[in-house]
Structure 1
Amino acid sequence: MRFRIRPVETSFYDLFTEMANHLVEGANLLAQMLDSSTDKKALGEQMREAEHQADETTHKIVKRANSTFITPFDREDIYRLASSLDDVMDFMEETVDLVGLYELGDLPADFAPQVEVLQRATQLTAEAMPRLRTMKDLDEYWIEINRLENQGDRSYRRIVAHLFGGSYKSLEVLKLKDVVDSLEHAIDALESVANTVEQIAVKES
């Protein structure tokens, strides 16, 4: 039987929860992007600020890991989880930035399911982070994230098929394809977060 003394150090769990809540905010900002009345420039500024706040939290996690003698789980896993969470925010910020840079107006309606997947997955991730304290009741989280990622893949393929279906001009196709690719990367990054949590839970059980 494996015994391990866990330090009474709760700040890592609080910081991971804080980071995941930044992702929830980012996904909600993405949802506003679908509203034709949204000021895209103002939205871009809000998203950059959210990404900056997420970066600050990531730096706090890394700094705490570097300065803590005994971490609640493997130091390498702390770095990997922090990096995976940060990747999600980076891709969401990239999505909004591209919409602004390309001066896109209304996005196709079939982009909405991708954003809904992101919103649901980020919410589940935020709810899961506090459970790292006990490593219990996490299996439903990564199973559902995997299901959502598969759902996102199906939506992605439908969107791409629609873009190349002849309804859009070639330049517009390229711009919209970049945007939906960033959305897809964000969803994939959320699955990477869930996979990392699963690996940590298995190692610590």
Structure 2
Amino acid sequence: MKLRLFPQEDAGLVLLSDMAQQLVLGVRTMSGILGADKRDYDSLTEELHQHEANSTDLHFALLTSMRSSFVNPLPREDLYALSRMLNEAIEKLDGAAELISLYQLSKLSRRAAEQLEVITRQAELTAGAMKRLNSMDDLEEYWIEILRLAKRAERTHRIWCAELLNDHKPLIYARHRDVANQLVDVTKDIRKVATHVGSILVKES
């Protein structure tokens, strides 16, 4: 990490960490949705909506913090990019939950659970990484592991879609494919977070 000549305000990093934690909580709610009765979809989806709303509030709070802080721990453009990507990830997760509720889907493929396992690990790693941005400790390992998980998610998505096409009529296929697309997009957004962390590491080295 480069030597900083002036005191820095770490509010931006705290807010990023809080956003990452909302993603972790959202993933837990999504896990509940996958195992829930249809009658519980609405309440669980509303719970995930709240996590997404909390994340959005934190995103706007970070924008306010950047404008009012004299010295930020990272360049403003990096703080903004990470915040935006984290918020987009939970938006996609929220979208997947809403689709399951709207379509009243049941008996989702086991690939959904496999995909959620990847997202859970990505979210937990990202929450830890956001707490270490000030020191940059072990972030290269985080970057590499997220990329590995993202590749696994892409492969699971391809297999899932192929199985859907083989096993379902067009309307059912389309509905399940919508959910599959939303979930893989979550993994892509978290990958963007990790890739941006990697670019920060290169700049700060």
Could you say which TM-score interval applies, normalised by the shorter chain?
A: over 0.9
Q: Which residue of 1 aligns with 2:176?
A: 176
Q: Which residue of 1 aligns with 2:195?
A: 195
Asked if 2 retains the 8 angstrom alpha-carbon contact of 1:35 and 1:106, the reply is: no
> Offset of 1:109 from its aligned partner?
1.8
Choose 27-36 or 82-91, whichever is displaced more.
27-36
User: 1:110-153 CA deviation, whole Å, 9 max, x = no partner?
Assistant: 21110100001000000111110111210010100000000001
Q: RMSD of the alignment, in Å?
A: 1.3
Q: Which runs of 5+ in 2 are unaligned?
A: none
The one-letter code of the counterpart of 2:153 is G
Distance 2:118 2:41 in 1: 21
Asked if 2 retains the 8 angstrom alpha-carbon contact of 1:146 and 1:191, the reply is: yes
Change over 3 Å in CA distance of 1:195–1:6 after alignment to 2: farther
Q: Which residue of 2 aligns with 1:93?
A: 94
What percentage of residue pairs aligned between the two structures are identical?
33
Return the TM-score normalized by structure 1.
0.94
Structure 1 runs (4+) deviating above 3 angstroms are none
Q: Which runs of 5+ in 1 are unaligned?
A: none
Return the TM-score normalized by structure 2.
0.94
Distance 2:112 2:16 in 1: 29
Distance 1:55 1:106 in 2: 31
Distance 2:61 2:137 in 1: 25
Asked if 1 retains the 8 angstrom alpha-carbon contact of 2:9 and 2:69, the reply is: no
User: 1:67-89 CA deviation, whole Å, 9 max, x = no partner?
Assistant: 11221111111111110110111
Distance 2:47 2:3 in 1: 46
Change over 3 Å in CA distance of 1:6–1:154 after alignment to 2: farther
Q: Which residue of 1 aligns with 2:44?
A: 43
Give the number of equivalent residue pairs.
203
